[in-house]
Structure 1
């Protein structure tokens, strides 16, 4: 548990500079010579602080003297409250929690009369600490939450907020609600770090270590406890009551790890500190710990003696939690020793005290206080935030006024410098924007030029490649209608008509697909594609449409399946086969094959045609340029087919390329993913 003594510190402030210059015996001489009660009380408070961890009996004597003077002087009400607080804290250090509660309640009444929020918060916190040590957790929770609520009323009480939240976490730890305990401990540490409270981390890791002990995570417990001890010693903090508690828990951890030698060493170290402060509660804890070590070693007589002495002290101090633990272990010890009757007696005492401490009434009260506190905390936080916002606005207005005055004082210089600076910044910004706009214009120009070329190509195809065959067909039909062509002559023209029709049909299909592609209307439907069947269907279709005596071999096996859009890949293969037929002579051979390459298929269409020069190869897949030439039988082309092939293959996640040499034929390749 953390304690808070801001009142004692405030009262001794006027003597702070004398601490390094004047030893305690000099202060005692000053006390003898002092006449005014206020001077005497200030010296006494200084002596109480100096002696509390050096010689607690002297510190108590000074506190009793302070109470005596403050009670006789009716004008020393605030000093009286401070004297009661000091005496209660000293009694708490000694483990006399009943006396500590008495004097903290006296202090609380005085602080309420004085409307001293700092004093009220401190008294509530000290009372909560006292009740928690006695195992009265419902009372402890009530007082700690009251302390926190008072601390929330002012931003200057951040330290008290951190302490109250820390102690609420300790209450939940003692109740076994470890997750909630850690939440409060972490929140407390966050506030401590914000205000650079050096004592926050040692207290935090001390309690986190105790949580780990209770959760039986002993290695983690040792890490946290030793870190707490390290912080306490390195920072040379004035929290001497914490160090023996940390050492005590380290001893307990080693005992639970069955390292009896180290456990006893740490118990001995803690004993020296508790003995020095005459802390009976701490000494009782040492007796219990040592007794349990002896019990582990089978030294039952020594163990019984120590644990019974611990139980007796705990009973005198009304320290119920410690008393319960003593009875529980005495019952186990005597049962192992074979004294079942006495073991049963201690077990009954343990159970009765435990039932009394953790009664349903206490738990119900604790739950009600918890709900009330959490609801009130939210309301207080809202009020505090509202007040802070109002203060912030007031501070902003004040700062604005100061700023305006300063601006007037340096107006000419400021305006000149600002104007020069802004002018330079504006120039830089304008230049940057101009460069960005120039880059954007260049980019748009390139895009428009490409679109223009695409548009010109489209119109060229429509105006020439589509219109010419349609006009030729219309002319022939007109001659037939006028009986100017005989059946024999029409039969001769039939071959040419079929070629023109096939070319026009392919052209229209390509134009439609290309238009949909440019409008982004084509949606890809990935599915399983039987490459062998796809090749066969195209071979059958193209063989029937073309008059050239060209043989097409399908080398794709029936077990080769790819993943893609079957309509798109069908068009790709058909265009590649059509081009192969177009540029092959009668009697030539065309081969379609598919080769595995990791997770892909490489599909190829190889012909023995005229081949393609390197210069033309660079133009074949360009959208804006394209390339077209007549086939071996004077077949026309638009260059659109290969552009479609490239876009369709890429949209299916593949690549397309070719290998060709003039006079030796060409091979077009494209890739598709395997179907799995």
Structure 2
């Protein structure tokens, strides 16, 4: 019997039925599921499966199994879902819908916390999609698979592959024009942006998911979007609003899954209450959620409740209880395959052990976490991630524009229909439209002019602040060594200094003057750039002698602080401006000396690529605080004292960045507070 052939028979309850009757039951089950009536869905699907089995209609059995597994997943009854899907894969291995079963099997494994085994199953399902006939069904399935893979890679900590799969999912979801699929996709994408702390984009996608789910009356996806919006608001410390969304999601949960405890929602309420400082209530919520998670065998829920209880007990000084909870969470994180979960668990364990004074254990966990963090951090991956996010953002903007165009098209269609019915109103409508266009154009021009004026105002304010900074430096920092020289001359003239005292004072003033020479050079370069634009000469520049000359000029500072200042450059030649290059490396080397302790070292090295040279200036000094990392290249007024109270102008690094980029290069740094800093300058080869 071939699949799809109409079969007549008699059901076990004596009624005469055929495949059409089974198909009607399956259609009814799908309708119930789209309305989130899960009990009715299961009843209709089970009846269809039973009758299909009686009349030996395998296609009906297969379709019923798919609906049942999907529904049990929604209800988080994962053991039932797992049993049905495993049996169906064995019985219907030759079915043209086998790819759907592998997709559901991967979903069950994922929800059970077994993401390592879920990944190859989902990849296999995606490979099977090649056999699906071209059309919207194929596009929808491929979009679903890329979306599921994106979620798994997100848990692995590989955000590059995660966003890459989200992009592919959007492409196929748009091709299939499936609102229900876009609802799920936007929800997961909002979660991804929340994880990378890009809250504005996260909120955009989560609110879009909530809006679409309500418009199509999809209670399950409305619940998911409400819960994730609550988590987002909690992360932004909007706790009261978060609790409102948690209440909404719990109400939806009870409507959808009356027989399943809301472990996830209770857990998230507990997290919010802990962050609000309401520890007793938070503990009660977290312990309740832990018991719920154990009762339904939800590994992720068990892990996160142990983690949060450890944090809560640590905050309230119950150190041993904190350690007990995190020691139960760590094996779950290690077994899940989620690097993100393992990372947060290791960090909490290290904190708990350190708080308890168990420094040996704390150090071991810290070392393990350092290795894990290093494996998650890669500059090239961050660059690829940035590019993927840019593409994704472009897709979002295109979608917004498309919605606006559709609304405009609908409005034009209504106007066109009115023109046919009421010909006399055409001229009036056109006149009104013309006036609106002109009004909008004038309003747009006015707004553009206001924005330009505001930009000019902002630029003038920045220049004025920089001017004030320059005068402050000239009047205070640069006047100090001159005043010192004048004082020494007075003492010499009055014969109040002997030879040794005079020599010591002169050495100190000499160092101060040389430091301020660097400041003057920065100020002059900045002033020239601001007033007339510093002209860049494109020529061949030999790096080794230039940087050796800079090192020689800065060596007195290094000698004074007993700092080893070395260079291992080869005979690299770059294409750029000699003076600008000198300013860049004078600033980087003097900064390295400035923030390095006595007896440490500063090293200049290089690496050649096909079309560029990367020069590194590495020190093992105090490092750059995280809170200052974002502004050191962008501020013309930011400066801190060195390890021996050395002063700077605040212009050096911003000038270095500007000159590097004008020569077609780029500049960046890596720093660990207390460990040191490495600046990288990449310039084109000659």
- Normalising by structure 2, what TM-score? 0.50
Q: Report the alpha carbon displacement of residue 310 of structure 1 after superposing the two structures with TM.
A: 1.1
- Write the mapping of 1:52-91 to structure 2, written as runs, cut at 5 A: 52=73, 53=75, 55-71=77-93, 73=94, 76-77=95-96, 79-91=97-109
Residue in structure 1 matched with residue 330 of structure 2 by the alignment: 311
Residue in structure 1 matched with residue 139 of structure 2 by the alignment: 117
Task: Spell out, residue by residue over 1:91-147, the C-alpha distance to the aligned partner (whole angstroms, 9 max, x if none).
Answer: 122111122222222222222431311111111122222222333322222222221
Distance across 1 between alignment mates of 2:396 and 2:166:
12
Q: Report the alpha carbon displacement of residue 251 of structure 1 after superposing the two structures with TM.
A: 1.0
Q: Report the alpha carbon displacement of residue 63 of structure 1 after superposing the two structures with TM.
A: 0.3
Contact 2:264–2:289 (8 Å) recurs in 1:
yes
Q: What is the number of equivalent residue pairs in this alignment?
A: 391
Residue in structure 2 matched with residue 13 of structure 1 by the alignment: 27
Contact 2:49–2:61 (8 Å) recurs in 1:
no
- Write the mapping of 1:192-231 to structure 2, written as runs, cut at 5 A: 192-231=213-252
Inter-CA distance 15–381: structure 2 relative to 1 (3 Å threshold): same
Give the structure, 1 or 2, with the largest relative contact order (CA under 8 Å, sep 6 or more).
1
Q: Report the alpha carbon displacement of residue 81 of structure 1 after superposing the two structures with TM.
A: 1.1
Task: Spell out, residue by residue over 1:462-500, the C-alpha distance to the aligned partner (whole angstroms, 9 max, x if none).
Answer: xxxxxxxxxxxxxxxxxxxxxxxxxxxxxxxxxxxxxxx
Task: Spell out, residue by residue over 1:369-396, the C-alpha distance to the aligned partner (whole angstroms, 9 max, x if none).
Answer: 1223334555677789999999999999
1:165 aligns with 2:186: yes
Residue in structure 1 matched with residue 111 of structure 2 by the alignment: 93
1:269 aligns with 2:293: no
Task: Spell out, residue by residue over 1:524-578, the C-alpha distance to the aligned partner (whole angstroms, 9 max, x if none).
Answer: xxxxxxxxxxxxxxxxxxxxxxxxxxxxxxxxxxxxxxxxxxxxxxxxxxxxxxx
Inter-CA distance 332–249: structure 2 relative to 1 (3 Å threshold): same
Residue in structure 2 matched with residue 142 of structure 1 by the alignment: 164
- Structure whose alpha-carbon radius of gyration is higher: 1
Distance across 1 between alignment mates of 2:24 and 2:180:
15
Instruction: Tell me the secondary structure at the aligned position of residue 314 of structure 1.
Output: helix
Contact 2:230–2:245 (8 Å) recurs in 1:
yes
More divergent stretch after superposition (124-133 vs 388-397):
388-397
Q: Report the alpha carbon displacement of residue 59 of structure 1 after superposing the two structures with TM.
A: 1.9
Residue in structure 2 matched with residue 575 of structure 1 by the alignment: none
Query: Of the candidates 381, 384, 388, which is equivalent to residue 365 of structure 1?
Result: 384
Distance across 2 between alignment mates of 1:174 and 1:29:
44
Instruction: Tell me the secondary structure at the aligned position of residue 388 of structure 2.
Output: helix
Distance across 1 between alignment mates of 2:56 and 2:295:
33
Q: Report the alpha carbon displacement of residue 263 of structure 1 after superposing the two structures with TM.
A: 1.8
Distance across 2 between alignment mates of 1:368 and 1:11:
48
Distance across 1 between alignment mates of 2:239 and 2:42:
46
Contact 2:290–2:306 (8 Å) recurs in 1:
no
Query: Of the candidates 104, 121, 142, which is equivalent to residue 103 of structure 1?
Result: 121
Q: Mark the runs of 5 or more structure 2 residues left unpaired by the alignment.
A: 1-22, 33-38, 425-686
Distance across 2 between alignment mates of 1:308 and 1:162:
38
Inter-CA distance 355–66: structure 2 relative to 1 (3 Å threshold): same
Q: CA RMSD in A?
A: 4.1
- Normalising by structure 1, what TM-score? 0.51
Q: Report the alpha carbon displacement of residue 69 of structure 1 after superposing the two structures with TM.
A: 2.4
Contact 1:112–1:120 (8 Å) recurs in 2:
no
Q: Mark the runs of 5 or more structure 1 residues left unpaired by the alignment.
A: 1-8, 408-417, 423-676
Residue in structure 1 matched with residue 302 of structure 2 by the alignment: 283
Contact 1:94–1:277 (8 Å) recurs in 2:
no
Contact 1:97–1:131 (8 Å) recurs in 2:
no
Contact 2:26–2:48 (8 Å) recurs in 1:
no
Q: Report the alpha carbon displacement of residue 160 of structure 1 after superposing the two structures with TM.
A: 1.9
Inter-CA distance 35–211: structure 2 relative to 1 (3 Å threshold): same
Inter-CA distance 12–89: structure 2 relative to 1 (3 Å threshold): farther
Contact 1:163–1:188 (8 Å) recurs in 2:
yes
Distance across 2 between alignment mates of 1:205 and 1:134:
25
Residue in structure 2 matched with residue 298 of structure 1 by the alignment: 317
Distance across 2 between alignment mates of 1:254 and 1:143:
35
Distance across 1 between alignment mates of 2:391 and 2:332:
36
Residue in structure 2 matched with residue 186 of structure 1 by the alignment: 207
Q: Report the alpha carbon displacement of residue 243 of structure 1 after superposing the two structures with TM.
A: 4.2
Distance across 1 between alignment mates of 2:185 and 2:280:
37
Inter-CA distance 182–56: structure 2 relative to 1 (3 Å threshold): closer
Distance across 2 between alignment mates of 1:40 and 1:182:
41
Inter-CA distance 40–25: structure 2 relative to 1 (3 Å threshold): closer
Instruction: Tell me the secondary structure at the aligned position of residue 258 of structure 1.
Output: coil
More divergent stretch after superposition (385-394 vs 302-311):
385-394
Q: Report the alpha carbon displacement of residue 289 of structure 1 after superposing the two structures with TM.
A: 1.8
